[in-house]
Structure 1
Amino acid sequence: MARQRSILSLILVILATFLISCGGPTVATAPPTYTTAQLEKIQEYVPDILSVRDRSDELQKLIRRNDWIDVGNFIHGPMTSVKLNMSYIASNLLPKDQSQARQITRDLFNHLVKIDQAAADRNSQQALSNNKAAFADIDNFLQLLPQSNNPQES
């Protein structure tokens, strides 16, 4: 019986030694970074987003004047192109930022739908609040972009 215990102990020591030797030190991996191609694709779409973001006052004025046809044109034209550009950029962001970018893009879409619905209902208050939220979504999205490609005005 004592002999069996010492053989079992020896097997366990050999097994533990083997498992520990296979563990080896972990190699530190560098955090993911943007490739040149990704940066170029992002940079390609950012100016269009910035130009529409800078036109936020224009949409606000249209809503205040109850110019619902032009509000609809602005929503279905420049704002929809911003949403598409944001979708294109999201796929080129780092994996940790992609899900947040996609969520912000969905939020923007939902706010645009609400503005469009408010325009159809001729509801200035709802349109103005969703207008503010839509442009806040754009600003939040721009903050996810790499700093070298984010020429936001402060």
Structure 2
Amino acid sequence: MTLWSRCRRAVALVLIPLLSTVLVACAGPTAATVPTYSESQILQIEKSQANLQAARDRFPELDQLINAEDWTFVQNFIRGPLGDVRRETATVSRTLLDPALKAETTETAQDLFNHLIALDDAAKDGDSRRARQQFQEAIVDFDAFLNAIPTL
């Protein structure tokens, strides 16, 4: 074998992997498909969002009941006008396509329900301080949930 043959082989052994790497690197990113909502998913989210906003708009009534220490009506309000909030938040969370947003809304909804349960317990015990605290925390979680819903 001549010197030229050896050099050609060595150059080929170096250039082929180098060329392959450059071609792969310069090929550019592949187009990622962005998940899109179907028309029925959009309608479901919008319907649930409207129902949730209507429930949130009634929180001043609950505030008045807490201030009046009308514990029976506080408990009735939580079970009545706010009774569908759990189902509506679950529907929205389940319908969302972004896994991170789905996890965030599920956690926020759970926090909201924990505060409503604690508010119900405070009403049962007639504890106005704890009822007020749980009411305030429920408002924060409810607003956070509503703000997390994407505009479609």
TM range (shorter): 0.7 to 0.9
- Give 3-state SS (helix, strand or coil) of 2:139's partner: helix
Structure 2's unaligned 5+ residue stretches are none
Provide the C-alpha distance between the structure 1 equivalents of 2:111 and 2:118, rounded to a whole number of angstroms.
11
The CA RMSD measured in Å over matched residues stands at 2.5
Structure 1's unaligned 5+ residue stretches are 149-154
Which letter does structure 2 place at the counterpart of 1:22? V
Which letter does structure 2 place at the counterpart of 1:52? A
| Count of equivalent residues | 148
Please name the residue that 1:21 is paired with: 23
Provide the C-alpha distance between the structure 1 equivalents of 2:18 and 2:81, rounded to a whole number of angstroms.
65
Of the structure 1 ranges 99-108 and 88-97, higher mean CA displacement relative to structure 2 is found in: 88-97
Kindly state the Cα deviation for residue 91 of structure 1 after the two structures are TM-superposed.
1.7
Counterpart of 2:87 (choices 50, 67, 84) is: 84
Identity over aligned pairs, percent: 29
Kindly state the Cα deviation for residue 30 of structure 1 after the two structures are TM-superposed.
6.5
Provide the C-alpha distance between the structure 1 equivalents of 2:55 and 2:10, rounded to a whole number of angstroms.
74
Counterpart mapping for 1:1-150 below 5 A:
7-23=9-25, 24-29=27-32, 32-95=35-98, 96-147=100-151
TM-score by length of 1: 0.81
Kindly state the Cα deviation for residue 3 of structure 1 after the two structures are TM-superposed.
7.0
Distance change in 2, residues 1:123/1:10 (3 Å): same
Which letter does structure 1 place at the counterpart of 2:9? I
TM-score by length of 2: 0.82
Provide the C-alpha distance between the structure 1 equivalents of 2:5 and 2:29, rounded to a whole number of angstroms.
38
